Chains A and B, each alone.
Chain A
Amino acid sequence: MRVVLAEDLALLRDGLTRLLEAFEFQVVASVDNGPSLLPALLEHKPDVAVVDVRLPPTFTDEGLQAAIAARQRVPGLPVLVLSQHVEPLYARELLTDRAGGVGYLLKDRVANVAQFVDAVRRVAGGGTAMDPEVVSQLLARHQPPLAALTGREREVLGLMAEGRSNGAIATKLFIGEKAVSKHISSIFTKLGLPPSDDDHRRVLAVLAYLDV
């Protein structure tokens, strides 16, 4: 799979390149500043882009802006955005086009290599990878409507909002996939969401419900 990487710190850029290449990704371009990111994305049209939010020259949010701009020109271009901090506000901006193929993770998550690589693959496949910290902020905000859910259902909802598949949720919670499906259909009934068999679409529905 072909990757475009944007990260200004050389140490992290090299580390990420090494990590991705160890898992059979091919880094076709790596940039260290905002202005050259958008052209690189449009030129290479990678299978997935891994982008740091804060890049030179202004060190504000040009990574995010370039990612959003690229997705406007190439709808659904898979982008995984990394940051030292996460804001539900930025997640909302990334998800507005409802096209899928979006990831938004804390940089810390790179340390858990297996999970990080899984997230990159998921995003490349049109799925979603939302940081647990974003998800927990969203769930905290929607306390009253979510009170109807059982504790287990809330756990399942949280993992779904992170973008995980049924299989992944089952493994994580040490339960069967069937049980997961049952929880999910119960959640969708309680929240009044339209049922769907497609993992990605279900995730987007949940995120939309959480008002991202």
Chain B
Amino acid sequence: MDSRDWIRDGVRAVAGGLLAVPLAVVNLPLFLFFVVGLVLTPVFGIGLLVLPLVTLLIRARADAARRLAAGRGVAISRPYRPRPEKAVFGGVGYYRWLITDPATWRDFAWLVPGTVIGLVLAVFTLALPVYGAEGILLIPLWIWLGTDSYGYGMIWPIETLGEGFLSLPQGALILAIGIAAAPYLRRADALFNRLFLAPTRAAELRLRVSQLTVTRADTVDAQAAELRRIERDLHDGAQARLVALGMTIGLAEEIVDADPATARKLLAEARETSSAALVELRHLVRGIHPPVLAERGLEGAVRALAMALPTPTEVTASLPGRLDTPVESAAYFAVAEALANAARHGGARNTAVDLWHTGDSLFMRISDDGRGGADPSGGTGLRGIERRLAAFDGTMSLSSPPGGPTVVTMELPCALSSPKTSPSSGTG
């Protein structure tokens, strides 16, 4: 981090401290209204309206705290249960949904300590920079104007003009310390909030289960569709051709003595049929699992793919080992789809593929200099990539401003297996 970043980060943190004061104060009325709503529920049933309303406000407040924490590098996911379909605002179901969610009570428990800690940390965040700024700005001015019995920093009271100006370097130092400390104080606040606002282990697992249910269903659907396609291709293609082949050869066998010339013609026809069947099988195999992927792994297969593309495509890769076969396949098809998309819609003159692996994730970046403006929700191609990756908890992000360039970045959590053992070492 160079000094500009350091100052920018510090100033932003001080501003965050300023914002934290009103936010902390808002917690108290929310706390009171929640108690009132709770008390009023058995009395007039007014609580059925008041309590959900207050709860939603508290959640909005907690979400704000989560967003601020995220800005400090502390990720806090939302712990709330999804709303039951039939529950409507003001109804008993809605009330029960909120009241039975442990996250509601954890939010409530957070309000008061959140205020106290929030205010204390905000005061710490602000005090040093404010005092430092005072040293820089005010004291020399006051001395100039002839105020007595006042001091600053280590000099107290200030008696001469010279001493007065000494407060300037002291102020600068204190301001610098304050700005340096502010990000850590904000982070401390975020960490404290996480204790209350993050999902409990149980809630986290519940969220994970519902997410896995969705991706599993998607994966199973996609696989079933894929198998149906393969079955149809085999049935209408290679299988039918083999039947025709058998018939042609059988016929040639029948007439070979009586009419050798026709038999010869039939055999030539049979040979053509067999090569057509092979072409079809080859295309099919390429679609299931490209042979070059099995032989060379992701890097080699992407290089082979790039060589077959009409637009010049530069591949840079640093993958020290092979990936697991299913992950490798998903990664390959995701890259292939992204490249096909770039060629189809982007009007690109050049494309580039970057592959790299950090400790626990594979990253794939496909960029092109086309006209941009790709819509992540629009194309089925991009949706398909997302679905492929989701099966392995992978994600995709797209940046495509109008006029380009378009950059698709995909991340796939996975480990690399032992450094290249099988391929390209069989030469001995």
The listed residue (B292, B310, B424, B425) touching A87 by CB distance below 8 A is B292
**In the docked arrangement, what's the CA distance between A92 and B304, Å?**
10
Residues of chain B within 8 A (CB-CB) of A35 are: 426, 428
Stretch of B61-69, B256-264, B295-303 contacting A (4+ beta carbons < 8 Å) = B295-303
How many cross-chain pairs have Cβ atoms below 8 Å apart between A and B?
A: 73
Residues of chain B within 8 A (CB-CB) of A76 are: none
User: Which DSSP category, helix, strand, loop or mixed, fits chain B's interface?
Assistant: helix
Contact between chains at A69 and B427 (CB < 8 Å): yes
Stretch of B75-83, B278-286, B332-340, B402-410 contacting A (4+ beta carbons < 8 Å) = B278-286
- Given contacts A85-B291, A85-B292, A88-B304, whether A65 and B426 have CB atoms under 8 Å apart is yes
Residues of chain B within 8 A (CB-CB) of A54 are: 291, 295
Residues of chain B within 8 A (CB-CB) of A61 are: 295-296, 423-424, 426
**In the docked arrangement, what's the CA distance between A34 and B428, Å?**
9
Residues of chain B within 8 A (CB-CB) of A106 are: 278
Q: Name the residue on A nearest B312 (C-beta).
A: A141
B309 within 8 A of A: yes
**In the docked arrangement, what's the CA distance between A67 and B258, Å?**
48
Q: How many A residues touch the partner, as a band?
A: 20 to 34
B422 within 8 A of A: yes
- Given contacts A35-B428, A38-B428, whether A88 and B423 have CB atoms under 8 Å apart is no
B308 within 8 A of A: yes
Contact between chains at B285 and A85 (CB < 8 Å): yes
B41 within 8 A of A: no
B17-53 CB contact bits vs A (8 Å, 1 = yes)? 0000000000000000000000000000000000000
Distance (whole angstroms) from the CB of B359 to the closest CB of chain A? 27
**In the docked arrangement, what's the CA distance between A90 and B291, Å?**
12
B271 within 8 A of A: yes
Distance (whole angstroms) from the CB of B420 to the closest CB of chain A? 11
Residues of chain B within 8 A (CB-CB) of A140 are: 310
Contact between chains at A89 and B427 (CB < 8 Å): no
Q: Name the residue on B nearest A111 (C-beta).
A: B271
Interface residues of A in 42-91 (CB under 8 A from B): 53-54, 58-62, 65-66, 68-69, 84-85, 87-90
B307 within 8 A of A: yes
A118 within 8 A of B: no
Distance (whole angstroms) from the CB of B275 to the closest CB of chain A? 5
The listed residue (A66, A85, A88, A90) touching B427 by CB distance below 8 A is A66
Contact between chains at A65 and B427 (CB < 8 Å): yes
**In the docked arrangement, what's the CA distance between A11 and B44, Å?**
88
The listed residue (B292, B307, B423) touching A141 by CB distance below 8 A is B307
Residues of chain A within 8 A (CB-CB) of B426 are: 34-35, 58, 60-62, 65-66
Contact between chains at B304 and A87 (CB < 8 Å): yes
The listed residue (A65, A92, A112) touching B424 by CB distance below 8 A is A65
**In the docked arrangement, what's the CA distance between A140 and B307, Å?**
11
**In the docked arrangement, what's the CA distance between A115 and B286, Å?**
26
- Given contacts A60-B295, A60-B423, A85-B285, whether A143 and B307 have CB atoms under 8 Å apart is no
The listed residue (A60, A87, A89, A112) touching B271 by CB distance below 8 A is A112
Interface residues of A in 83-108 (CB under 8 A from B): 84-85, 87-90, 92, 106-108
Q: Name the residue on A nearest B270 (C-beta).
A: A111
Residues of chain B within 8 A (CB-CB) of A65 are: 424-427
The listed residue (B275, B282, B300) touching A84 by CB distance below 8 A is B282
Q: Name the residue on A nearest B281 (C-beta).
A: A84
- Given contacts A60-B295, A87-B292, whether A92 and B427 have CB atoms under 8 Å apart is no
Contact between chains at A89 and B292 (CB < 8 Å): yes
Q: Name the residue on B nearest A67 (C-beta).
A: B427
B274 within 8 A of A: yes
> Which residues of B approach A to under 8 Å, CB–CB?
271, 274-275, 278-279, 282, 285-286, 291-292, 294-296, 300, 303-304, 307-310, 422-428
> Which residues of A approach B to under 8 Å, CB–CB?
34-35, 38, 53-54, 58-62, 65-66, 68-69, 84-85, 87-90, 92, 106-108, 111-112, 137, 140-141, 143
Known: A34-B426, A85-B285. 10 other contacts (CB 8 A): A60-B294, A60-B426, A61-B296, A65-B427, A84-B285, A85-B282, A89-B292, A89-B300, A112-B271, A141-B310
Enumerate 20 A-B pairs (CB-CB under 8 Å) in ascending A order: A34-B426, A53-B295, A54-B291, A54-B295, A58-B423, A60-B294, A60-B422, A62-B426, A65-B427, A66-B426, A69-B427, A69-B428, A85-B282, A87-B304, A89-B303, A90-B304, A108-B279, A137-B308, A141-B307, A143-B310
